[in-house]
Amino acid sequence: MRLGTSPVPQVTVRQTADGVYRNWDADVSAERCFAGTHLQVSPGASAPYVQLVNPVASGVQILLDAVTLTSDTACTFIMGRTTALLSTQYGNWQNKYLGGAVSQGVFYAQNGAAAFLATLYRVAVLADTPFTLVFTRPILIDPGNQFMVAASTVSTTIQLNAEGREI
């Protein structure tokens, strides 16, 4: 379908014969796209950890498409899978369809040691310089699993911004 009648270039919306979108907007309009953030301050001699958790009884799979990482000090971020919940729950990520359904994905965080079951990525960042990692294929978080981010530096503040979908 083509919008408008002007001879200048127009926006093209691709859709099937029955009117279904064939681009990312279909996920937004179906209330499946989510984004969220958590800032974790680590006072003292401990490292900060943040998780995006897919609860056991969620009934959805989380597809994590991208993360943006920031730290107030130069550090290496370690990202991977864990099944152990961190100590403090901070709230759900938010539906990008404003006013849409509440998400299942929840942020947890703590300071101090936490174990990775599998390390997927290590990324070195400069202080106060956001680094965005768009995954070539999304990370799938099944119910009962968590995607965790940790800083290699103690006494630092980290921020995780996450973007993805629930299917």
The reply to whether 7 falls in a domain is no
The reply to whether 21 falls in a domain is no
Banded model confidence at residue 74, pLDDT cuts 50, 70, 90: very high
The reply to whether 15 falls in a domain is no
CA distance 159 to 40: 6
CA distance 64 to 105: 10
CB 45 within 8 A of CB 145: no
The reply to whether 1 falls in a domain is no
CB 119 within 8 A of CB 76: no
The reply to whether 133 falls in a domain is yes
CATH code (residue 73): 2.60.120
CA distance 132 to 66: 7
- pLDDT at residue 66 in the model: 97
Number of structural domains in the chain? 1
The reply to whether 18 falls in a domain is no
The pLDDT tens digits of the residues spanning 30-63 come to 778 999 999 999 888 889 999 999 999 999 999 9
- Give the pair of three-digit tokens for residue 80: 């991977």
The reply to whether 69 falls in a domain is yes
pLDDT beyond 60 at 100: yes
Which structural domain range is residue 127 located in? 32-166
What is the C-alpha R_g of the chain? Answer: 18
Report how far apart, in Å, the C-alpha atoms of 160 and of each of 68, 147, 166 are: 6, 11, 18
